[in-house]
Amino acid sequence: MIVTGFYVPGWSEISMASPEKLNGMLTRKSSPTVVDVRGGYDFQKGHVPGAVNAAYNTIDKAGLPKDGALVLYCGNDKCPLSHLAAKTLETLGYKDLMVLEGGFAAWTAKGFAVETAAGPQQKKAALKISSISAGKLRKRLADKGIGIIDVRSEKDFRIAHVQGAKNIPLETLEGSLAALSKDREWVVYDIKSERVKTAAQLLAQKDIKVKELLGGMQVWAAKKYPMESGEAK
């Protein structure tokens, strides 16, 4: 079956809902549960009104209702995540599943209402985040007062990561903040600077002490500083 440019063998047909159809469905008394399968940061910036956020890679643990229709969506028509999430739910026994055609981009292009985490309130201004060089972090690897967070995917983390780092992918970071000690200083890194900045902002907005690793994994690896592979110990 061809789905938004992706061939996925073995999939059963998942119904598609156009933005117009979904908008109409939301006005009904028995409206569907709309599920945004993107990461929490994208969800906060804007989502379909009333949508719940359940990242595609943890959707099996989201506890979504089985007694009604579910409409899933991700970023745009090139994004396969809503279809992957639908397939996961299908294997768990969910029956009434639909995917929003064109994703959130199509929804906004039609001019339909958008909701943000802040509602009508103004977004918080970005907080100034300090950074730490790879050399300084290396000297502090044994320091119990510092923690290191790798916000890359679990797959990338297992291949190689900074010694002692823990893996919390950016897409699930927001839900893990409560478990981070505010008595420690946390250093976050990735291979993409925008992902690091997003992660650092999430921590800072919860009053968690945080710094960005300058140059990320690229600089650390290039300097041949201590690294590990496999899952975090």
**Cross-strand bridge partners of residue 195:** none
Query: Which alpha helices (DSSP H) does the chain contain, by range?
Result: 19-25, 40-45, 81-91, 103-109, 134-139, 154-159, 170-173, 193-204, 216-222
Given this model, what pLDDT does residue 233 score?
58
Q: For residue 51, what are the CA distances in angstroms to 43, 71, 104, 105, 158? A: 9, 9, 11, 15, 33
For 53-56, which contacts have Cβ atoms below 8 Å and span 24 or more sequence positions? 54/85, 55/171, 55/172, 56/81, 56/82, 56/84, 56/85, 56/88
Length of the chain: 233
Superfamily of domain 130-228, CATH level 4: Rhodanese-like domain (3.40.250.10)
The span from the CA of 147 to the CA of 78, in Å, is: 36
Mean pLDDT of the chain: 88
Q: Where in the chain are the domains? A: 2-109, 130-228
The fold adopted by the segment(s) 2-109 is Oxidized Rhodanese; domain 1 (3.40.250)
Tens-digit pLDDT profile for residues 127-137:
889 999 999 99
pLDDT tens per residue across span 142-182: 999 999 999 999 999 999 999 999 999 998 998 899 999 99
Tell me the C-alpha distance between 19 and 25, whole Å: 10
pTM: 0.51
Amino acid at 108: T
* Residue scoring higher pLDDT (126 or 92): 92
State the Cα–Cα distance between residues 116 and 19, nearest whole angstrom.
18
Q: Which has more pLDDT, 27 or 22? A: 22
pLDDT grade, residue 2 (50/70/90)?
A: very low
Domains 2-109 and 130-228 share a fold: yes
